[in-house]
Chain A
């Protein structure tokens, strides 16, 4: 009876059936956008059973299986073990820092609820957003009567001649999110939700009409303009965002400073700080991710074993 159970547990058919079940579960979870399904006891049990099948197969057939296959099987088990360590012992959460304020040690979850305290405090000394180039303000002017068109890349505060015409274009203010308030034209936010550019035309030095051009509402408020205008706005892409932080121990004295940015985390006392995001409305605020994961060495070791086993198996078959 036990022997029959052992044979069934180590069977390839069980592996195929469990793999299909897990793949189906994963697919439904992904299509439903339900990440929480992957920490449900049903999924964890199914995965544990899959690993048990893998272990049973590896042990029972170890004499028959080629070396690389054994390595691959072992690697998968090591990776899953690393994942289990991460799930049980890993810690991560968000640090929201504002330059010019007190150091922070409380890590928050995605809803902003405090999760735990770090063994040290982090102070944001400086935050900067580096842009790749400049904002693009492109005007396509046209004169339907003459059948002519001009494309100009302009800048707020600039003056531009329209080639081959008596027209001069004077560019005024740029407002990223135009709204008309009590004090006239204002911006609701720094985000380009309703970008608008103020323009005026001169003909031989004399004013001939002006208006606001709206990137998302072409054709609006153009009655006073001598030429038709289409305004295209493209903000300068963000190249990088960089935080300069000080890490303070329990006594409050500075232990170290450092800079971190996306893909360049900062490591301290077994913790790693990652540049996670920032607030576009307030560039004094930086959002970091703090993480500590004892499962990573196991997982990375499993990765190395997996690649070694697969590569050896592939080369062995070719030989």
Chain B
């Protein structure tokens, strides 16, 4: 099952990308709809495999990098449908399908073995903290995906404004969830280790990510940044976020090492 839980959704997401490519060339609406349907099918297959893994492990599938990556991919692929509007779904589909395929490709390099939880992770907070964080990462990833079209030439003002709006909605939703994930992690740390903040590398880089996105949202609301300028700071935030998620695990030692 370990191979299937990555390969089956991966196949759907690649097919969705291919469908969008055909739609772009042929300009036929039916291919766009097919691409969207394949993305939805990929998300549905991920849901099934995550539930099966949960049942098999006897716990939520969020105890290591492999499992959290699957959850992040699952969250990211749900967002085009949650953000609302046919425009959101169609504009984001190719980018989100590509992002999801990349995330699953990264997951395929990790150890998929289901292992028992170590003592530090035996808490209900594991589910809430990791779920909020991964949903947040997923939403911020979709926000970054929505930033990419800003660098295309010849995009009309209405479409540009709609894409900007998509970015902002995804980033503000992701920021809310990221905050929830950080705060829940802090409460859990206090319950487990007696300190809600220990400047652990993962904690520190989560704070850096939080500060960056707080600044991004202030630039939108306070200084009216739109278009390419906003896309650049948004994508930079995505890079910081990915370093927090991946880089910290491999380059720095800390309390989160057990989750690698």
Contact = CB atoms under 8 A, between A and B. Distances in A.
A16 B207 contact: no
Interface stretch (A23-31, A139-147, A196-204, A246-254): A23-31
Contact of B208 (A23, A35, A240, A317): A23
A272 B122 contact: no
A120 to B, nearest CB: 17
Most buried by B among A30, A293, A317: A30
A300 B176 contact: no
Contacts of B54: none
Interface string B164-183: 00000000110110011001
Chain A binding surface SS class: helix
A92 B176 contact: no
A204 B224 CA distance: 86
A12 B222 contact: yes
A186 B126 CA distance: 41
B223 interface: yes
Contacts of B222: 12
B123 to A, nearest CB: 4
Q: How large is the interface on A (under 10, 10 to 19, 20 to 34, 35 or more residues)?
A: 35 or more
Contacts of A299: 186, 196
A96 to B, nearest CB: 15
Interface stretch (A153-161, A205-213, A215-223, A258-266): A258-266
Given A262-B119, A300-B187, A83 B197 contact: yes
Nearest to B173: A314
Interface in B142-198: 172-173, 175-176, 179-180, 183, 186-187, 190-198
B199 A262 contact: no
A63 interface: no
A27 B196 contact: no
A77 B185 CA distance: 20
B64 to A, nearest CB: 13
Contacts of A132: 116
A189 interface: no
A181 interface: no
A19 interface: yes
B201 interface: yes
B215 interface: yes
Contacts of B215: 15-16, 19-20
Most buried by A among B173, B194, B195, B197: B194
A35 B214 CA distance: 24
Given A16-B215, A23-B212, A238-B119, A289 B194 contact: yes
A92 B119 CA distance: 21
B194 A237 contact: no
A317 B173 CA distance: 11
Nearest to A76: B214
A19 B219 CA distance: 13
Contacts of B219: 16
B127 interface: no
A38 interface: yes
Interface in B15-43: none
B116 A133 contact: yes
B183 A296 contact: no
Interface string A283-310: 0000001110100100110010011001
B237 to A, nearest CB: 11
A303 B185 CA distance: 12
Nearest to B115: A237
Given A241-B119, A261-B119, A307-B183, A296 B196 contact: yes
Nearest to A20: B215
B112 to A, nearest CB: 17
A133 B193 CA distance: 26
A224 B200 CA distance: 51
Contacts of B173: 314
B33 to A, nearest CB: 27
Contacts of B119: 238-241, 261-263, 275
A14 B180 CA distance: 26
B211 interface: yes
A33 interface: yes
A114 to B, nearest CB: 18
A311 B193 contact: no
Contacts of A261: 119
Interface string A1-28: 0000000000010011001101100110
A314 B208 contact: no
Contacts of A262: 119-120, 122, 192
A274 interface: yes
Given A27-B205, A239-B116, 13 more contacts: A15-B215, A19-B214, A26-B204, A27-B208, A30-B204, A30-B205, A30-B248, A238-B119, A289-B194, A296-B190, A303-B187, A307-B179, A310-B179
11 contacts: A20-B215, A27-B208, A30-B205, A30-B248, A31-B252, A38-B204, A265-B194, A274-B193, A293-B195, A303-B186, A307-B180
